[in-house]
Structure 1
Amino acid sequence: MTLAATESRAYLANLLRKHRLEPSLGDGLPSTESPEWHALSLGRKRYALWASMRNAASEFIQSGLDEGAARLALDREIGRRCIWLANREQAGILGAKDFCFLPSQAWRQPLILDVAMETFLPLGIRYWLEPSSNWKL
C-alpha cells in the first residue's frame, strides 16, 4: 500500500469514527478500486470520502443504525462522486483546487510524511493536488 493510499484510508477511518461507525467498514470498498478513484488526487479523494460519509451517516441513522446499510451507501456514494469528478475534469471545468480537501494549517503532519517529503517525495503541495500515478520522482 502506498503512502497516499494509507493517508486516504486513515482519513476515512477517522470520518467513520466521528460518526460512531466501525473504522473497518471502509476496508475493501469496491469503489476505492475503480479507475476513477485511482485517477483522483489525494485532496480530491479526501473530498469524495467526506461527501460520501455524509450520505452514509444519514443512511446509518435512517436504517436504525444498520452498519451494513451505511457501508453500502458509502460505497455507492464514493463511486458516484468519483465519476462526477472525472466527468468534470474531462469537460475541463475542474480547477486544480476545486473539490479538493487540503489539510488545515493547524494539522500536524505525521512524522513519516515529514521524512518522506524531505527525502524521497519532494512534491510539496503536489502531494495533495496530483494523483500519485503522476508523481515523477
Structure 2
Amino acid sequence: MNNLLDLQAQVAGLLTQVDAPARRRLAREVAITLRRSQAQRIAQQRNPDGSAYAARKPQLREKGGRIRRAMFARLRTARYLKQRADADGAVIEFTGRVLRVARVHQFGLRDRVRRNGPEADYPQRQLLGFTEAEERMVLDLVLAHLGG
C-alpha cells in the first residue's frame, strides 16, 4: 500500500501541469489497461502479491459428469468488472449483484452459501489490488503520455 501512495505522490506532481481533457484521456487509458490486467490476474487465480487463491472447500455432494469451472469466471467479465475515468482519476470496480460476492471474497467475510442456506467463512481472495507490475505500468503510461 505504501508503494501505491508513493506512486500517487510522484504522479500527482506531474499531472498538475496537464489540462483536464488530457488527464481524462490518460485516466481512461490507465483504467482500461488496469481492468484488463485485473481480469487476467483473477483468471490466473492469483492475489496481487503473487500467491495463489485459497482453494475451494470440498463439496459434500459432487454432481457426476459436471465440468468444473474456475472461480470468478463471470465476475471478471466486462459486464460486472467496470472501469470509470475522469480528469480526477480512474476507478476499477465490481457492479450489480456480484458486488456482494466480490466483497465477501476480497475481505474474507462470512456469508450465506445460498439463499436461506447455511453461513460459511470465506477465505480472503484479493480480487482487486495493485501488483508491482501494474504500478510500473501506470507510471510508464503517465510518463509516455507526458513525453509524447
The TM-score normalised by the length of structure 2 is 0.33
Normalized per residue, the structure richer in strand is 2
Normalized per residue, the structure richer in helix is 1
Larger radius of gyration: 2
